[in-house]
Amino acid sequence: MRAFLGHDRPPTRSKPPLDDAQRTFRHIWHYLQVGSDRRYPLKRGQTNALVLQMGKVASTSIQAALGQRGINAFHSHGLTSPAQHVTLSQLMESDLSFRLAAHDLRRHIQHVAMEMMIRWYRQHKQYKGRRLKVVTLTRDPITHYPSSFLHRKDSVREKIFAWSRARSNLDRLDPIDAEQAMSSFVMELASIIAEGRPSAGLSAHGRCIALAVQRWPEHPVVASEVGTWLGPLSWFENHITPVFGLNMLAAPELREQGWAERSNEWVDILVLKFEALSSLIPEIQRFFDLPELALPRMNVASAKPGAVEIAAAMSLALDTPVGRACVRELRTSPYGLTCGYDRLT
């Protein structure tokens, strides 16, 4: 009877209590799950990877491919404090909507948790015997800008039209040729960049912005778009080196082979050239020790509405002496030289 009632069973061993580091990670993990893709459930025993990229470089495709292979893949375009403050300001100042509450808020919570995860790894080095994995990509600034613009076109379109009317001394209600306005706008950006000479280094970026403000003080969209076009040139200095303590653009092999890998005691980083991504899939497999990997086609810019018109406007503007000077300046910047984009000019 005692055996039947369980009185003779050996006592159940209690699990050892979690230390402070483990308890901290589990609380961070809770918020990481808030914004995760339910198609790829997160598991603490799996490798943690951060797909941290400048945008428009197949980041969602890489995240999905890793998730399909059992990697806890998190995705962000920037986790520094300034980037998080911008997002928080947008959340606080935007009109309340379903998307704001259901998507933007959730993503912001997860991004803050990602930043805390990075700090956890920096302090404790490894989780379950593994360092944090990071994948990032470079992209030619000439092709990056139209893809990036396509993502923002609805929010800047009317501002560009207002600039075009001011440039042509038209009334705000006067009709304009949308394609011509876009081409002229790109030409103006190109002339500012060519004059500002980013090939001289990152210090020239401020000169470009100042020149844009000087020319068009009443139209801040000009300075904003110049800054966006210059974005890839300083992205690694702003988002990778200060966060992880590794200067990926200092790797000489990146220019020749299109990829480079660097590590410290708490993180492994793989940088790839977007233009060579299809041929570099074996490097991603090796980096994550995967037997196979396939990148799905997702969020392809060239297939989106307006892509053809924007590409035509870019081509028209850049196929001029000023446009070619802009291309040369961007591709011969320190970033362009490191990545080998000067070879495309």
Query: Is the confidence at residue 300, as pLDDT, over 80?
Result: no
Q: Give yes or no for a contact between 153 and 65, defined as CB atoms under 8 angstroms apart.
A: no
Query: Is the confidence at residue 299, as pLDDT, over 90?
Result: no
Express as a percent the part of the chain with pLDDT over 70.
Answer: 94
Which pLDDT band, with edges at 50, 70 and 90, does 8 fall under? low
What average pLDDT is seen over the chain? 92
Query: Is the confidence at residue 214, as pLDDT, over 60?
Result: yes
> Average pLDDT for residues 46-67, to the nearest whole number?
94
Query: Is the confidence at residue 1, as pLDDT, over 70?
Result: no
Query: Is the confidence at residue 305, as pLDDT, over 90?
Result: no
pLDDT given at position 77: 92
Q: Give yes or no for a contact between 313 and 186, defined as CB atoms under 8 angstroms apart.
A: yes
Total-model pTM: 0.91
Query: Is the confidence at residue 48, as pLDDT, over 70?
Result: yes
b (16+ CB within 10 A) / e for 39-54: ebebeeebbbbbbbbb
pLDDT given at position 38: 79
pLDDT given at position 17: 86
pLDDT given at position 57: 87
Domain positions in the chain are 21-140+246-288, 141-237+300-344
Which pLDDT band, with edges at 50, 70 and 90, does 12 fall under? low
pLDDT given at position 10: 63
Please tell me the least confidently modeled range out of 65-69, 86-90, 190-194: 86-90
Pairing of strands 267-273, 132-138: parallel
